Chains A and B, each alone.
Chain A
């Protein structure tokens, strides 16, 4: 019996299709787009997090830049000013912090029971919930990065060429993908949003300070250099900084002298790609457990 009241059935045709699996791609696209749309509607009607997420890095640029404005020339390597040095760090840290929060909406959906609405639905794959979050967070990170690049240019850090901008976008993409995956994994593992926020708190700033975002590797004691070289943020910051400082940059350029050897521009990208893949794989089992 159908619950239709004077209406032709709408379930039966799609039922047939999904039984054969022939429109799996169509279904997963439909549900992923709908879930992504929800996140963008939320952002549009509640833009405060995005506005804060844009104001904050710009303030970092202005205030931190001013703090070290009178630092001796050449102190921060070959940079003309600290602002130029800092731009890369702010771009990466902003993307990182945004992606780290990716799990929060999912956690709230779990807590308020909205996730149950998704779980009783015949989703082609429940990973579309993850895809939607990733698409949303990465779009937001790219938007933030674009604003920071613009602001940094106005503050005198210069503007990378088109290849440079593409490289920045790729780096932001890979880092945000990996961090979003970890955050979503936590959102499905931890018992509630308090715990998730606690984890975000203890991860956020230490990872910033244990990277090359604020100061170059050469400033640091040996033990910190080791930590920094293990921090994925460094592999996002150094290539961006490199292309800010060198208009004729290339993939083979050495961008960081880590304790285990020299890291090239292309090598950094590979590290970030590896990080994203490892992060995605590591949450698979947890997501399967919760979402399968």
Chain B
């Protein structure tokens, strides 16, 4: 059986700007597949190519074995696309929007009513269905948009940053909904620049940066590849430079310590990468107390996806995100998104 989604060496430029350089990944049926990366990494362009909204310059894009370039209409039937910006007609009610959507996907008249009732229930929208969408909160709009994407029972549901700008409550609704979909065997492709979202939801991840896939696998695999545990150590709430330097030199001699970075942005805390073994924290505590250094806080954790990103790009996702936001060109982005 063909993969639910297959993308090989996708490339797409807008004028001189190369949005996607070389992206390849494969999504198996029934998986939640996460594309993680900062703004401007090429996630949205990849999804737009997948959903036939933009034509790739090069590469192969398939849905259930169907080339989206050669057979766009067949591919569209199998895809549900929920864009990042919720585009709903605010003068229509939720139900009317779904009725329009049903007609655009040529659902048979007999099935439409039942199907709409089903997706309204699934997203908890029954009581809002006959209100104009202009009165909806951001979370409700997103839920309606998700309901619309799901209405025609697509093989693959494609979601571009589904929780950006949502309140916590709506975010939880969306997460629950995606987990339900997975339980029912639906394939979901989701982009996000929220690490915890991808970590919590995705069975497999591809991390994208500057139009390239820099790491791919299950979240656990990726973290294992990075290796080591993370320890965050604070001598004091705001430690003196001499003290942290002293602590750093001492700790660097411990056999299990691989790397130490002083994080001046967080009150001179010490970030350690250590080989996981017994008594790591106790050994550190004893080492410091032997020279009379106090401990304000110490925490040990497994590597996160952010550490994966850091290892691959040399900066944290947060820093990349801030840099990307500073370099954004909203006008050019709008142009890319308009047809």
A residues contacting B by CB (< 8 A) are 1-5, 7, 9-11, 13-15, 18-19, 27, 30-31, 33-35, 37-38, 41-42, 45-46, 110-124, 191, 290-291
Q: Does the CB pair B87–A5 fall under 8 Å?
A: no
Tell me, yes or no, whether B122 is within 8 Å of chain A by CB: yes
Within 8 A of A (CB), among B127-163: 132, 148, 150, 152-155, 157
Q: In the complex, what's the smallest C-beta–C-beta distance from B190 to chain A, in angstroms?
A: 14
Q: Does the CB pair B52–A2 fall under 8 Å?
A: no
Total A-B pairs in contact (CB under 8 Å)? Answer: 137
Chain B 70-110, CB-CB to A under 8 Å as 1, else 0, gives 00011011111101010111011000100111111111100
Q: In the complex, what's the smallest C-beta–C-beta distance from B156 to chain A, in angstroms?
A: 9
Query: Given A5-B184, A14-B108, A41-B96, list of 9 further CB < 8 A pairs?
Result: A3-B157, A5-B180, A14-B105, A14-B107, A34-B103, A34-B104, A111-B338, A120-B53, A123-B104
What is the bound-complex CA distance between A152 and B127, given in angstroms? 48
* Cβ contact of A3, chosen from B76, B101, B184, cutoff 8 A: B184
Q: In the complex, what's the smallest C-beta–C-beta distance from A291 to chain B, in angstroms?
A: 8
Q: Does the CB pair B76–A120 fall under 8 Å?
A: yes
* Cβ contact of B74, chosen from A5, A13, A19, cutoff 8 A: A19
What is the bound-complex CA distance between A122 and B151, given in angstroms? 13
15 CB contacts below 8 A, A to B, read A1-B185, A3-B153, A11-B105, A38-B89, A41-B91, A115-B339, A116-B81, A116-B337, A116-B339, A117-B148, A118-B104, A119-B52, A120-B76, A122-B76, A124-B106
Give 5 closest A-B pairs by Cβ, nearest first: A34-B103, A113-B87, A121-B104, A122-B76, A3-B186
* Chain B residue, CB-CB nearest to A34: B103
> Which residues of chain B come closer than 8 Å to A119, judged between CB atoms?
52-53, 339
Q: Does the CB pair A10–B115 fall under 8 Å?
A: yes
Tell me, yes or no, whether B17 is within 8 Å of chain A by CB: no
Among A7, A117, A120, the most chain B Cβ lie within 10 Å of the Cβ of A120
Chain B 289-315, CB-CB to A under 8 Å as 1, else 0, gives 000000000000000000000000000
* Chain A residue, CB-CB nearest to B184: A5
Q: Does the CB pair B77–A122 fall under 8 Å?
A: yes
> Which residues of chain B come closer than 8 Å to A123, judged between CB atoms?
73, 104
* Chain A residue, CB-CB nearest to B107: A10
* Chain A residue, CB-CB nearest to B96: A41
* Cβ contact of B80, chosen from A3, A10, A116, cutoff 8 A: A3
> Which residues of chain A come closer than 8 Å to B107, judged between CB atoms?
10, 14
Q: Does the CB pair A1–B187 fall under 8 Å?
A: yes
> Which residues of chain A come closer than 8 Å to B132, judged between CB atoms?
45
Within 8 A of A (CB), among B147-198: 148, 150, 152-155, 157, 180-181, 184-187
* Cβ contact of B155, chosen from A1, A13, A120, A124, cutoff 8 A: A1
Tell me, yes or no, whether B206 is within 8 Å of chain A by CB: no
* Chain B residue, CB-CB nearest to A13: B108
Q: In the complex, what's the smallest C-beta–C-beta distance from A64 to chain B, in angstroms?
A: 34
What is the bound-complex CA distance between A114 and B101, given in angstroms? 11
Q: In the complex, what's the smallest C-beta–C-beta distance from A162 to chain B, in angstroms?
A: 36
> Which residues of chain A come closer than 8 Å to B30, judged between CB atoms?
1
> Which residues of chain B come closer than 8 Å to A115, judged between CB atoms?
338-339
What is the bound-complex CA distance between A290 and B105, given in angstroms? 20
> Which residues of chain B come closer than 8 Å to A4, judged between CB atoms?
153, 184
Q: Does the CB pair B83–A37 fall under 8 Å?
A: no
* Chain A residue, CB-CB nearest to B80: A3
* Chain A residue, CB-CB nearest to B337: A113
Q: In the complex, what's the smallest C-beta–C-beta distance from A108 to chain B, in angstroms?
A: 10
* Cβ contact of A2, chosen from B83, B92, B185, cutoff 8 A: B185
Q: In the complex, what's the smallest C-beta–C-beta distance from B61 to chain A, in angstroms?
A: 14
What is the bound-complex CA distance between A100 and B155, given in angstroms? 41
Q: A7-B118, A11-B77 are in contact. Are A191 and B335 (CB under 8 A)?
A: yes
Q: Does the CB pair A33–B103 fall under 8 Å?
A: yes
Chain B 23-35, CB-CB to A under 8 Å as 1, else 0, gives 0000001100000
* Chain A residue, CB-CB nearest to B334: A111
What is the bound-complex CA distance between A34 and B109, given in angstroms? 12
Tell me, yes or no, whether B51 is within 8 Å of chain A by CB: yes
What is the bound-complex CA distance between A266 and B115, given in angstroms? 52
What is the bound-complex CA distance between A182 and B73, given in angstroms? 27
> Which residues of chain B come closer than 8 Å to A34, judged between CB atoms?
99-100, 102-104
Tell me, yes or no, whether B41 is within 8 Å of chain A by CB: no
Tell me, yes or no, whether B111 is within 8 Å of chain A by CB: yes
